[in-house]
Amino acid sequence: ELEFAHRISYWTDPDRRFPSARMLKTEVDGRPAALIIGVGQKLTVWQSLRGSLVVFAVYGLPLTILMALGAAPLIVLAVRRTLAPLEVVLDEASRIDVRSPGVRLSEGRLPREIAPLIAAVNSALDRLEEGYASQARFMTDAAHELRTPVAILQTRIESLSAGMDRTALTQDVTRLALLCEQLLDLQRINQGVGQRTAVDLGQLARQCAADLAPLAISANREIGLELIGSSVVAGDGPALGRALSNLIMNALQHGDGPITVTVKGGTMSVADEGQGIRPEARRKVFEPFHRLKPRSTGSGLGLALVKEIAQLHGGTVSIGEGPRGGADVSIHLPLAVRQTTA
């Protein structure tokens, strides 16, 4: 009996209990022979379909699964090899920054379907870089051009007789000079920090406080220093000095009462006794040209420059509340070496 014939016959027609074919063993001319006898029958479409499904389930499906399992690693390997150049492109894209001009995405060895997209992105980056460079040149040229008339104006104001008008004009022209320097600072920052050297933050704080003491005196304010321990960082001294000066100027313009500059470890803090900065506004004040008061005399660049300089040195900036109210703005920098603070 044919086992396969038994199965197909039964599954296609369960009411049929006999196989649709029989095999007989016999002899022909003294030699063994096999005789297959088939019984004629009609097969419906539904029986044919069920029989085909049975054959596929028993033989075709396992074979298909086996082939899929064998081909899966090959498919994964082929996809990885095809998309490998995209990993290089992703790494290059992550390194594109305002301070890294000229970085573009590689167009070689990419699938033909993706190459036009990469070319379009590179073209867009070229246009953006050209526009940014043009804007930077304009700001730098404008700031340089303003420095000369501002210096002349300062000289003429100093020649005036002492009085309220001279004091007011001195404050106004000082703010104008500071704005010019801040615009130039923006361009210096975009070029990165200068040569890193050992910077004593305590000495830096003394120098900044001394430079801004005349402005504090004219505004009937005081600048106090609290130097705790030794604080030496590796960085660009002039850039860090400009950052601290911006914090002191910000306290002079928008704060009240005496100003306290504290240096401890790698942290420089400037605190005043004014109204302070609300917690919900502390993140926005670091945005360029953002002002807490629309009619404020400030330029809105001071804290933005401080944040940029701190980040270039691997540090951060935080805003808290001073011990006597007011704002307490701190620059946190990594120390050059481990030091013990008192």
78 token code pair: 């082929």
Which helix (H) or strand (E) segment holds residue 227: the answer is strand 223-228
Confidence (pLDDT) at 295 = 47
Confidence (pLDDT) at 293 = 59
Confidence (pLDDT) at 193 = 58
Check if the beta carbon of residue 290 is closer than 8 Å to that of residue 300.
Answer: yes
* 59 DSSP 8-state letter: I
Query: Going by DSSP bridges, is the β-strand pair 223-228/259-264 parallel, antiparallel, or unpaired?
Result: parallel
* Calculated CA dihedral for residues 184, 189, 195, 199, nearest 10 degrees: 90
User: Is residue 108 helix, strand or coil?
Assistant: coil
User: Is residue 25 helix, strand or coil?
Assistant: strand
Cα separation, 306 vs 26, in Å, equals 104
pLDDT by residue for the chain (342 residues), tens only, comes to 445 544 555 555 555 555 556 677 788 888 888 777 766 666 667 767 777 887 788 778 888 888 888 888 888 787 777 777 777 787 778 777 766 677 788 777 777 777 888 888 888 888 888 887 777 777 777 777 777 788 888 788 878 777 777 777 877 787 777 777 777 777 766 665 556 789 999 999 999 999 888 888 888 889 999 998 888 998 888 889 888 988 998 888 888 888 999 999 889 999 988 787 888 777 788 776 666 655 455 556 778 888 888 888 889 999 888 777 788 999 999 987 654 444
The most distant pair of C-alpha atoms in the chain lies apart, rounded to whole Å, by 144
> Can you tell me which residue has the tokens 């420059």?
305
The burial of 133, by beta-carbon neighbours within 10 Å (0-12 exposed, 13-18 middle, 19 or more buried), is given as: exposed
End-to-end CA distance of the chain: 101
CA angle 55, 57, 63 (to 5 degrees): 95
pLDDT digits (tens, 9 = 90+) for 96-106: 776 667 778 87
Check if the beta carbon of residue 54 is closer than 8 Å to that of residue 72.
Answer: no
> Can you tell me which residue has the tokens 């043009």?
134
153, 155, 317: which is closest to 246 by C-alpha? 317
User: Is residue 75 helix, strand or coil?
Assistant: helix
73 token code pair: 């690693």
Residue 227's DSSP bridge partners are 263
89 token code pair: 């492109």
Confidence (pLDDT) at 341 = 44
pLDDT digits (tens, 9 = 90+) for 248-278: 988 888 888 889 999 998 899 999 887 878 8
Q: What structural domains and CATH numbers belong to the chain? A: 3-91 (no CATH), 98-191 (1.10.287), 194-342 (3.30.565.10)
User: Is residue 78 helix, strand or coil?
Assistant: helix
